Amino acid sequence: MTFDAVWKKFRRGERHDSLRDLLPALIKRGLRPNAAALGAEEFWAVEDVSFEARAGEALAIIGPNGAGKSTILKLLTKILRPTKGQAAVRGRVGALIEVAAGFHPDLTGRENVYLQGAIMHMKRAEIAAKFDDIVEFAGLAPFIDTPVKRYSSGMNARLGFSIAAHLDPDVLLIDEVLAVGDMAFQQRCIERMHAFKRQGVSIVFVSHNLQAVANLCERAIYLQRGVRAQGPSLEVIEQYVRASDRQQAATGSGTVEIVGGELFDHRGEPAPVVEPGQVMTLRVSYRAHAPVSDLLFGFLAHRSTDSLLVYDANFSSGELALRPVRPGDQFSVDFRFRAHLTRGQYHLACHVFDTATQEYTSRMSPVGIFTVREDRTFAGIADLQVTSTLAGSRSREAAPGIAGQL
């Protein structure tokens, strides 16, 4: 699968409800000397994007809403044509890019399974051989003969993914629509995509679920019409988090401002990657712009891949032995902690709260980002340092992976 220097433009408000509207628009396009130039009300939805996904590789595309992620999937499936550049996919494509995309609303689930198989150039006997597995995976046996227009969005997504996953694709294109499924179905989908990778299927995965991206995909692209970053998933996620969760301006007195922060390990060295339980220090610098005496200094830790809050603490001026500050004063606070966390990427945030005015004076996120590297658990948040004991023998630590399966 290759995407080579692709550009795609759209026109704002373009709509042709009649032949009278359509013909002048087509003539105008034909007379335009340079089709690649932007005309009135046109804009670039995708700008000079290139990537390649090899067999057995999962590539994630992340970015904010409107970044062009779904447009790229539609270009790969030939629903849209590039304005410039080349998009090529070799082999059978299984795609789930919109809830109920390709389904005929008046046909039943059963009829739509056969319709989708025919679209993918499969013989009826081949579809019939896989039909029971498709229905079982989707969990829709009681409703398979119901018109899909009566399905919920979650039911549509389950049937759509099940069809795409059981028709032996060489390339699998998955959009954020998996988010409408329940947790158990999402887990089955992730497990099926891992199985596809082992079978040599290329996967392009568009999602706002950065935890799923980190677990499934080796490489990622941070997209905002053009490519902002491309490389190993954790590195790209870090850049996306920094861009998306950058310093926020507080709507308060602004008496004390957070200037910046540095993250160190127990040796006083920068700490981008640490082991579980390692001692770390976040040094945050502040500047005062007005006199104030009673402040709270907040320290928060989030798992970057899904923004889950894993820790939240506040420390008063009294606890820090901080005297009342005056305009121009600068000082730093060291937040020391142990990274009793399981594998993954985390980011730290800080705020200052004026207890007299009951306002936040400053917030910053992320102040620091770090990755926990370990091989003793597969999932979770906290490193519980689990041990196991066989009756009559001494305690021993959990073997790799066991703690994550408890």
Contact 186, 178 (CB under 8 A): yes
- Report residue 171: phi and psi, to 5°: -135, 135
Consecutive 10-residue runs of the chain (406 residues): their mean pLDDT?
91 60 57 63 91 92 90 90 91 76 88 88 89 92 95 87 84 78 76 90 89 86 94 88 62 78 90 89 95 94 88 95 94 96 89 92 90 71 83 56 37
Distance of CA 19 to the CA centre of its chain: 42
Conformation bin of residue 318: beta by default, left when phi > 0, alpha when psi is -120 to 50? alpha
| Residue 146 confidence (pLDDT) | 96
Question: pLDDT at position 26, please?
Answer: 55
Looking at residue 393, its pLDDT comes to 62
> Rounded to the nearest 10 degrees, what angle do helices 124-138 and 153-166 cross at?
130
Q: Residue 303: which of 374, 235, 211 has the closest Cα? A: 211
CB 325 within 8 A of CB 292: yes
Check: CB of residue 234 under 8 Å from CB of residue 220: no
∠ CA 79-84-88, rounded to 5°: 55
Residue 58 CA to residue 26 CA, distance in Å, equals 39
Q: 196 near 118, Cβ under 8 Å? A: no
State how far the Cα of 157 lies from the Cα of 186, in Å rounded to an integer. 10
The per-residue pLDDT for 178 is 65
Are the CB atoms for 363 and 349 separated by under 8 Å?
yes
For residue 237, give the 3-state DSSP assignment: helix
Q: Please tell me the total number of residues recorded for the chain in this structure.
A: 406
Tracing tokens 């294109």 back to the chain, one arrives at: 173
Token match 């979770």: residue? 380
DSSP result, 98-163: STTTT--TTSBHHHHHHHHHHHTT--HHHHHHHHHHHHHHHT-GGGTTSBGGGS-HHHHHHHHHHH
Please name the CATH architecture into which domain 247-372 falls.
Distorted Sandwich (2.70)
Q: How confident is the model at residue 283, as a pLDDT? A: 96
Residue 50 buriedness (CB in 10 A; 0-12 / 13-18 / 19+): middle
CA distances from 240 to 44, 146, 307, 395 (A): 21, 42, 12, 43
Angle at 77 between CA 71 and CA 83, to 5 degrees: 55
Please list the alpha-helical segments (H only) found in 231-386.
233-244
**DSSP E strand stretches across 153-197:** 171-174
Q: Which residues of 298-329 are buried (b: 16+ CB within 10 A; e: fewer)?
A: bbbbbbbbeeeeeeeeeeebeeeebeebeeeb
CA separation for the pair 152, 123 (Å, rounded):
29
Place of tokens 């540095």: 262
